[in-house]
């Protein structure tokens, strides 16, 4: 499969990551099928895309007509069978291995193009394990976007054990074509981004948990000391504490005790304090 052969991109999931991926693919000129399991999820996803595109219009980065053309290239659907025409499918469903495997097994029977590329946007889970349930593991690759997808330039390209050179090259070229910068790595828990980022967030939570400093001082300090735009607690609230915990637990399971999640993080997730999406995490929104 060559990048120039791709006409239709399928995206599984209309959440924060899914709708962002849909948007950038549609902005690059692709017809995009966005599939989710509930109409309310699709409606929320389309509203997020419209809001994001409207900001580009207000800033003079695209015209109203260009925005409408992007929206016309997006087809929201509840029916998995609508993905039959896809040449590339990017999965962005919940970060649970059994769920991801189930959708890829289903895609095996639906996607007509036998050379189609299947990709996962997972942030920590094994690309190799997912590829094992697909009809062509050599055509499987990790394409991990960063949040918010329309604004963040970097994309991790993750090579599974069986990913072919051709598929890896395809992923690199596709990411460039949609205006992003690829960074290639091997399949290992957390890849580059979360293997480094999640312990940083977790340690920030430990500093709060141990009473070393207030949340405001922790975040202010890290912004000033390291020139990052957000401190670890602010960033955790943006990502979602449940997502952070899932990622850290994967690192802990795969790589050992130095990645053990902070008890405070586990307590907050149990209490439903997940950050911006619930209106309260380390901060109130």
CA–CA dist 32, 246 (Å, integer): 29
Q: Which of 120, 123, 139, 202 is catalytic?
A: 123
> Residue 36, annotated ligand binder?
yes
> Residue 100, annotated ligand binder?
yes
> Residue 152, annotated ligand binder?
no
> Residue 101, annotated ligand binder?
no
144 a catalytic residue: yes
Q: Which of 31, 121, 126, 144 is catalytic?
A: 144
Contact between residue 238 and residue 246 where contact means Cβ atoms under 8 Å apart: no
47 a catalytic residue: no
> Residue 237, annotated ligand binder?
no
> Residue 147, annotated ligand binder?
yes
Contact between residue 29 and residue 13 where contact means Cβ atoms under 8 Å apart: no
Q: Which of 52, 139, 194, 202 is catalytic?
A: 194
Pick from 16, 112, 22, 116: nearest CA to 73:
22
Pick from 54, 103, 46: nearest CA to 73:
46
CA–CA dist 259, 200 (Å, integer): 10
85 a catalytic residue: no
> Residue 171, annotated ligand binder?
no
> Residue 203, annotated ligand binder?
no
156 a catalytic residue: yes
Tokens of 2: 């060559």
Q: Which of 126, 156, 202, 234 is catalytic?
A: 156
> Residue 188, annotated ligand binder?
no
> Residue 169, annotated ligand binder?
no
Tokens of 119: 């990709």
Give the contacts of 219 (CB within 8 A, at least 6 positions apart): 204, 230, 231, 232, 233, 234
Residue ranges for the known binding site for NAD(+) are 13-18, 36, 95, 100, 123, 147, 277
| Residues making up the binding site | 13-18, 36, 95, 100, 123, 147, 277
Q: Which residues are catalytic?
A: 123, 144, 156, 194
């Amino acid at each position: 499969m060559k990048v120039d052969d791709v006409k239709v991109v399928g995206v599984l999931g209309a959440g924060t990551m899914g709708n962002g991926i849909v948007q950038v693919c549609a902005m690059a000129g692709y017809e995009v099928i966005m599939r989710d399991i509930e109409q309310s999820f699709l409606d929320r996803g389309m509203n997020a895309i419209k809001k994001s595109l409207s900001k580009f219009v207000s800033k003079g980065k695209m015209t109203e007509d260009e925005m409408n053309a992007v929206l016309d290239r997006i087809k929201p659907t509840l029916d998995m069978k609508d993905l039959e025409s896809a040449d590339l499918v990017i999965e962005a469903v919940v970060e649970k291995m059994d769920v991801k495997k189930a959708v890829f097994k289903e895609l095996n029977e639906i996607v007509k193009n036998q050379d189609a590329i299947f990709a996962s946007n997972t942030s920590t889970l094994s690309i190799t394990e997912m590829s094992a349930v697909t009809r062509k593991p050599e055509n499987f690759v990790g394409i991990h976007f960063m949040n918010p997808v329309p604004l963040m330039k970097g994309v991790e390209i993750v090579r599974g054990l069986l990913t072919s050179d051709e598929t890896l090259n395809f992923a690199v070229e596709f990411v460039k074509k949609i205006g992003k910068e690829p960074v290639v790595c091997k399949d290992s828990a957390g890849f580059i981004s979360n293997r480094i980022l999640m312990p940083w967030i977790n340690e920030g939570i430990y500093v709060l948990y141990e009473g070393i400093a207030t949340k405001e001082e922790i975040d202010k300090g890290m912004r000033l000391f390291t020139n990052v735009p957000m401190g670890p607690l602010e960033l955790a609230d943006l990502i979602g504490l449940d997502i952070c915990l899932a990622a850290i637990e994967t690192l802990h399971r795969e790589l050992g005790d130095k990645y053990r999640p902070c008890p405070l993080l586990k307590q907050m997730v149990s209490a439903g304090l997940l950050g911006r999406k619930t209106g309260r995490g380390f901060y109130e929104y």
